[in-house]
Amino acid sequence: MGSLALSRLVEQVSSEHLHFWLVALQEMTTGEAILSSSYPVPSEDANPPTLLTRLSYANAHYAKAVAALKAASTPAHGLQFQLEWARARGEFLQAASQLILSAASLCFAPPPAIAATLAHTSRDELLRCGHATFQLRKCAKEFRACGDLYWKLYQSAFDADPSSLANIQILQQMCLLMATSIEKVSLNNSKSETVLDLSWQHCNLETQHLLNTIQEASAVGRQIFQGDRETKPITHLV
């Protein structure tokens, strides 16, 4: 609905900068809508689009939004905050896409015969899983890098409204939570990350939704091992 309304306004503004500003809003709105299972997404067959497909399309729309925001910027209004937020969101979607591919790589790229020898030589048993281990560790780094982007954005936007600051902080914690959860299954000595408890008695609906999401994700992360390091962390069984 929002994307449709913005598409009608794009050609009805008086300046080029406003045009590209609305284009950026339209692209970001479309990108977020695509992540919803009810939003139609082009598909090569009759099957419903996968999560990976939706993430890829959403990330493409955010890339277009970044380009539009650059075009909408002026010396008087640099739109730096909006640019950095869109970049961080795009990086998160890209990291999520890579995580899905990495998790599936154990099935389509099984460990080579030499993997067991490498694991024994390096004293890293997780290397028995071959390429999947390296890919998952790379994903953890990408999520941490994305968290750093949100943290820098939070520091630069200290004068923003409380709701915006809260949302950025929650998104940053989500990145750290994802990184920590991945490290629990791909590193022998994973870091212990405490999820920030962000709770307000009076917060808007969007903030409450983000809080519920990070709490659900945190609960899933705690269930990965339940303190049992003998459990095989990486497996092709889902």
Tokens 């994903």, residue?
A: 139
Confidence label for 110 from pLDDT (cuts 50, 70 and 90)? low
* Model confidence pLDDT, tens digit, residues 185-215: 777 666 555 555 555 555 778 788 888 888 8
In angstroms, rounded to a whole number, what is the distance separating the alpha carbons of residues 164 and 160?
6
Is 172's pLDDT higher than 80? yes
Q: Which residues of 14-28 are buried (b: 16+ CB within 10 A; e: fewer)?
A: eeebebbbbbbbbbb
Give the C-alpha separation, 229 to 57, whole Å.
37
If you write DSSP's letter for every residue of 137-192 in order, what string do you get? Answer: HHHHHHHHHHHHHHHHHHHHTTTS-HHHHHHHHHHHHHHHHHHHHHHHHH-SSPPP
> Are 139 and 102 contacting, i.e. CB atoms less than 8 angstroms apart?
yes
pTM: 0.83
At 33-81, the pLDDT tens digits run 898 877 777 666 667 788 898 999 999 999 999 999 999 998 888 889 9
The pLDDT, as a whole number, for residue 216 is 84
Would you state the pLDDT for residue 238? 42
CA 219 to chain centroid, in Å, comes to 18
% residues pLDDT > 70 (the chain): 73
In the chain, where the domains are located: 1-78, 82-238
108: how many CB neighbours lie within 10 A of its CB?
9
